[in-house]
Amino acid sequence: MFHSDKEAFMSHPESRSSESNSIESLLESLLDQTTRQAEVSRKRILSKSEAADYLGIAPRTLDKLVSEGEIPVTHLTTRRAFDRRALDQIIRGRTKYESAPAGIPMRRVRR
- What percent of the chain stands above pLDDT 90? 35
pTM: 0.53
**1: pLDDT strictly greater than 90:** no
* 76-85, 86-95, 99-108: range with lowest mean pLDDT: 99-108
For residue 21, the SS3 value is helix
The number of beta carbons lying within 10 Å of the beta carbon of residue 63 is 15
Q: What is the mean pLDDT of residues 13-34?
A: 76
Domain extent listing, the chain: 1-42, 45-111
- Categorize the per-residue pLDDT at 43 as very low, low, confident or very high, splitting at 50, 70 and 90: confident
CA distance 90 to 6: 53
Separation in Å, CA 24 to CA 11, 20, 29, 81: 21, 6, 9, 34
**What is 56-86 written as a DSSP string?**
TS-HHHHHHHHHTTSS--EESSSSEEEEHHH
